[in-house]
Amino acid sequence: MVHEISAIAASPGIAIAPLRHLRLAGEFVPRYGIEDDELDAECERFRVACTKAAEALERLKEKLGEAAESVLGIYDAHIALVTDPRLQSDVEAGIRKEKINAEAALQAVVTGYEQIFRRIDSVTVRERAADVRDVGRQITGMLLQRAQGNDGDDGLDFILAVDEFLPSDLGKVDTKHVRGIVMGEGGRYSHGAILAKSLGIPCVVGLEHELAKLPAGGTVILDAERGRLLVDPDRETIERYEERIEESTAAEQRIFEVRLSQSVTIDGTPVTLLANIEGTRELDALEPGMFKGVGLFRTEFAFMERLMFPSEEEQFELYSKIVESMGGRNVTFRTLDIGGDKPLQYFRTPVERNPVLGWRGIRLTLQWRDIFYTQMRALIRASSKGPVSILLPMVTTLGEVRQAREILDKIVGDLRSDGVDVGSELFFGVMIEVPSFAMMIDEVCDLVDFISVGSNDLAQYLLAVDRDNPRVAGMYDPFHPGVLRFLAQIVERTTVRDVPCSLCGEIAGESEFVPLLLGMGWRRLSMTPVFLPRVKLALRSVTIDDCVDLWTEVRAMGDAESVRDRVRNFVRTTNGAREKA
């Protein structure tokens, strides 16, 4: 009898293959004494191992090829850690003080670093603990001259089951035979999830203790579209999923064909598709015909990669490069959204019981005016290179909007008085993430040029569910009627007020949501670049009248499952009609 396990979908797709466990934890690390006259040589052995580990990481980067900046940045961060003078100094100090071998000294330092990171209640900082652990494993492997195994040398396809898929594991498995990845730890934004998505491998995370119970060698179905793992499936279930895989494969060619086409519905209604990006490399990899502009540039990632706050000139150069590369298309820059799960290592914020609902976003930057002023000046100056929209994150009150607007207007005035060029297309907007702020949408429209709705956080707050908590993540369901009705109210009000409003986040990039969103009235969608072609195909497969009829029907439904079934039936029917045509 098929056994179904719920998980967190991290990288989309479906896979059917035998399960193979990759056991990486608990590797033996030797400990032995070092004589005084051998301490220098032992420190040198450690330094050589660090150099070799950095070279191995560079080779893994090459293996990924033209991946997104967020993916390659993982390896850059590991290389920086491997070559970090502080890490090397701490380990060498341990070798000399304890008079022990490099492997044992390294293990002690890594354990200490991990304990510090794990005490901080932040998803991103806890991810740094995994970075440190992985780097420690890599250097230890070089010290012990362990050859990298390659799981999958038998040439058979498999679904990989592992506690956490770390960046160095890319060199330990033959990825061309990995059909899916099942992780016990991590969230949908963990490094393992990001790597899986970049490789196009379906992945689910958060199985925790269930992982060890999975039978090795047995066939499983990984449904990373809906966050399910089916163990011991019967023939009928396998055949049903094989049909879904065939449908998906056939759609991929069609998706590729339409990627540069106009984003219009069958009846000619235009829909603006925008890209959410984190850095210049990610933007360079995009084909211009795929999108109309940048709906969200997350500026905090440029801050997180540094050891200190970037200066105004450094920020101006970065923002200008982005704007110039867009050739006249608008770029929406979200102002610094640190705090919560995105701390800066060089800027200490108080430890909070619930940081996601704490001192973050505009709440933080309005109190640290020097940080806010510096970034605003750089962004306003960059508007001389092309259209720029400035977006405020985590806004809760109208007072915050007014304060930020006053700062913007003062800086514009000061720059012009000093003879500094300010662009004519400079726009000011807010991100709607807080439900109470969304209920004041009419007043908000009087103060801004545009609005962006952060669907991820908004849905999370509406449902009172932490998406990255495996115990309740299954309750996070954007198909919940309350979430859908809330989104409909926002677009209805902004349309009446004639204020441009875009939907940003996972909902905007989910092709199944396209008919619903169009039926509600959404005409601007901003998403992770990988989803742009799929969403474009979805909207080119429907008419607005059909979408309005679908939303009218769904709006009266009272549970998420009924909504989901109706929408998926609509999508299947639409896809079938398109294929016949």
User: Does 445 participate in catalysis according to the annotation?
Assistant: no
Question: Which of 43, 445, 504, 547 is the catalytic position?
Answer: 504
- Could you tell me if residue 268 is left (phi over 0), alpha (psi between -120 and 50 degrees) or otherwise beta? left
- Burial track 252-266 (b if 16+ CB lie within 10 A, e otherwise): eebbeebbeeebebb
Q: Which residues contact 116 (CB under 8 A, 6 or more apart)?
A: none
Alpha carbon separation from 172 to 166, 175, 217, 533 (Å, rounded): 10, 9, 19, 32
Closest CA to 373 of 342, 412, 337, 328: 412
Task: For tokens 């999975």, name the residue.
Answer: 214
DSSP for 262-298? --B-TT--B-EEEEEESSHHHHHTS-GGG-SEEEEEE
**Is 547 known to be catalytic?**
no
Q: Which of 21, 78, 177, 191 is catalytic?
A: 191
DSSP code string of 133-148: HHHHHHHHHHHTTPPP
Scan for tokens 């999108």, then name that residue.
291
Question: What is the side-by-side order of every strand in the sheet holding 158-162?
Answer: 3-6, 228-231, 219-223, 14-21, 158-162, 178-183, 203-205, 8-11
Q: What is the rounded (10 degree) CA torsion for 345, 346, 352, 358?
A: -100
d(C-alpha 47, C-alpha 54), whole Å: 11
Parallel, antiparallel or unpaired: strands 331-334 and 178-183:
unpaired
Q: Any idea which residues carry the catalytic annotation?
A: 191, 504
